[in-house]
Amino acid sequence: MAVKKMLEKVEEFDMDKVIEEFERLTKDAEGVQRETLKRILEENASAEYLQSLGLNGRTDPESFKSCIPLVTHKELEPFINRMIDGDASPILTGKPITAMSLSSGTTSGKQKYVPWNDELFETTLQIYHTAFAHRNREFPINGKALSFIYSSKHFKTKGGVTAGTATTNVFRNPGFKPSMKALKSSCCSPDEVIFGPDFHQSLYCHLLCGLIFREEVQLVSSTFAHSIIYAFRTFEQVWEELCADIREGVLNRSIVVPSIRTAMSKLLKPDPELANLIKRKCLGLSNWYGLIPELFPNAKYVYGIMTGSMEPYLKKLRHYAGVLPLVTSDYGSSEGWIATNVNPRVPPELATYAVLPQIGYFEFIPQSELEETKGDTSFLSVDPQTVGLTEVKIGEEYEIVITNPAGLYRYRLGDVVKVMGFHNSSPKLKFVRRNNLLLTINIDKNTENDLQLAVETASKLLAEEKVEVVDYTSHVDVSKEPGHYVIFWEINGEASEEALGECCNCLDKSFVDAGYTSSRKVNCIGPLELRVVRRGTFRKILDHYLALGNTGNQFKTPRCISPANTKVRQILCDNVVNNYFSVAFN
């Protein structure tokens, strides 16, 4: 769809209509799925990929499933590489794509290109509108948003194709700003800050803009919750500098990007009264509890993706948010959107995401099939069977398979979700985990959830010493027999040797998977090792990903570092200040 037409749609935005439309679509999710598949296959009928697999113009789900194999990124890479190299013939899509999205690589460990086009932008608007309409019904807003959003630069691949992260492709689309305006949540920071070349300078200025417009800010948000936590942890360190800038009306000298300086100078006027007020508020808080509502008295809620690998940050986020509700946003990926939160009052731990049946064609691989593949998402010689969107069963876990309007057909996303119920006939999903993040040495199998639970349990032992785990990750060390799990922790203070030793024992005991406990008992897996890393180590990991062309938006701390991820391993190992081994297992 042309951008102009999209903009007209934005102008027409009407919340009741959006909800009515969502109801209509989800009542006939199966019919809408058929239509969506038909539309995608018709629009891309001339694509070499579909033609070579013998689809011959058929658009029904049965023919589609019998002709087109399930794939992962690996199988599509040769096609995508030709597109990156500038081959504009219809390879995966009928029309040439408009850009490539570069995924963060923070979940899979490897950055991947996936095609992007206007149809994907349109699905982005559809999901934003649906989410907003449901959210605004519960928490009406009509003001500014302090949105920690960062757009990296577009760049050209060597074949001349425009590329950037998926969020960059969204933020740089001409339809994005008008759409945010229509959603009554325009960002309080100028474009120069959002589109600035340096994450840390943009973050500082986002905070400053938030303070300048503190009375108008009704919403504090980011794409993933990590950015909100990161922003307010930074605030704890730089609040005096922010106050000085407001007092003098002069931007801190460490902000050197000329376009940002010019834009900020238009907003910044000497305001000693505001500076004093913020100072009083900061000094009056106990350990920064309730910082967000204190700084932004009219904020209604805090918003962003808060499930999956973001859950470990919820405790800290609640601490900053005080009385404000935390609302988790949508579920999607660089490969396309999937579902949105239509019950915004539900806390993130219990949140589900209702699938929008018109934004892609979705299939689900049952967990039983996944077990046969041992969770391996690499290409399979035997295709697991899939079920359709309306055929999934409550209480079951599935891996999601996406067919999108930008050239991905039966693409295994690698995410495992659980069906928690239905919104009309469309399933409501709980994000469970990435399928490929596994701590395993022999018969043990621990997922990122198991790791999260273990860290949650063990970190409680630090509470007495008023120390928190800022961030964590893991890897398996098989360099010596027997192999063992290594957990890296960054903590925000001094903890006693005894407490950390106990944490290490507790981590070991908290992996309750039978494969792990039995292997530990007979010492086929060695004592677990807890390595405490220097303050700022996880910032170095973030900086490493930013240097690879990522934006702060899509950053997710990798929870399990693969052997191939040598750079991140190096950062971690170079910054270890202490290590502990668990005692013998019995």
Positions that interact with ligand AMP (CB under 6 A): 103-104, 107, 166, 305, 307-308, 331-334, 413, 415, 431, 434, 554
Whole-angstrom Cα distance, residue 480 to residue 548? 32
* E strand or H helix that includes residue 11: helix 3-11
Nearer to ligand AMP, 44 or 307 (CB): 307
Whole-angstrom Cα distance, residue 427 to residue 417? 11
Distance (Å) of CA 165 to CA 101, 107, 127, 431, 545? 5, 14, 18, 22, 12
Nearer to ligand AMP, 245 or 415 (CB): 415
Nearer to ligand AMP, 113 or 516 (CB): 113
Nearest distance, CB of residue 579 and ligand AMP, angstroms: 30
Nearer to ligand AMP, 49 or 303 (CB): 303
CA nearest 164: which of 176, 152, 175? 152
Nearer to ligand AMP, 144 or 434 (CB): 434
- Please give the radius of gyration of the chain, using alpha carbons only, rounded to the nearest integer: 24
Nearest distance, CB of residue 86 and ligand AMP, angstroms: 24
| CB-based contact 232:270 (threshold 8 Å) | no
Nearest distance, CB of residue 430 and ligand AMP, angstroms: 9
Nearest distance, CB of residue 562 and ligand AMP, angstroms: 16
Whole-angstrom Cα distance, residue 247 to residue 268? 9
Helices assigned H by DSSP within 172-224: 176-182, 191-194, 199-212
Nearest distance, CB of residue 305 and ligand AMP, angstroms: 4
What six digits make up the tokens of 472? 């964590």
Nearer to ligand AMP, 432 or 525 (CB): 432
Nearer to ligand AMP, 176 or 580 (CB): 176
Nearest distance, CB of residue 126 and ligand AMP, angstroms: 16
Nearer to ligand AMP, 48 or 77 (CB): 77
Nearest distance, CB of residue 367 and ligand AMP, angstroms: 17
Whole-angstrom Cα distance, residue 456 to residue 315? 10
Nearest distance, CB of residue 331 and ligand AMP, angstroms: 4
Nearest distance, CB of residue 434 and ligand AMP, angstroms: 5
Nearer to ligand AMP, 104 or 377 (CB): 104
Nearest distance, CB of residue 408 and ligand AMP, angstroms: 12
Whole-angstrom Cα distance, residue 196 to residue 203? 10
- Determine the Cα angle at 196 with ends 132 and 182, to 5°: 20
CB neighbour class for 558 (10 Å; exposed up to 12, middle 13-18, buried from 19) = buried
Nearer to ligand AMP, 192 or 415 (CB): 415
Nearest distance, CB of residue 95 and ligand AMP, angstroms: 23
Please name every residue paired with 228 in a beta bridge, in sequence order, or none if there are none: none
Whole-angstrom Cα distance, residue 417 to residue 410? 17
Residue closest to ligand AMP (Cβ): 308
Contacts of 61 (CB under 8 A, 6+ apart): 33, 34, 37, 361, 388
Nearer to ligand AMP, 36 or 307 (CB): 307
CA nearest 492: which of 543, 456, 535, 530? 535
CA nearest 274: which of 323, 210, 363, 341? 210
Q: Which phi-psi region, left, alpha or beta, contains residue 79 (left: φ > 0; alpha: ψ -120 to 50)?
A: alpha
Rounded to 10 deg, the angle between the 199-212 and 225-248 helix axes is 70
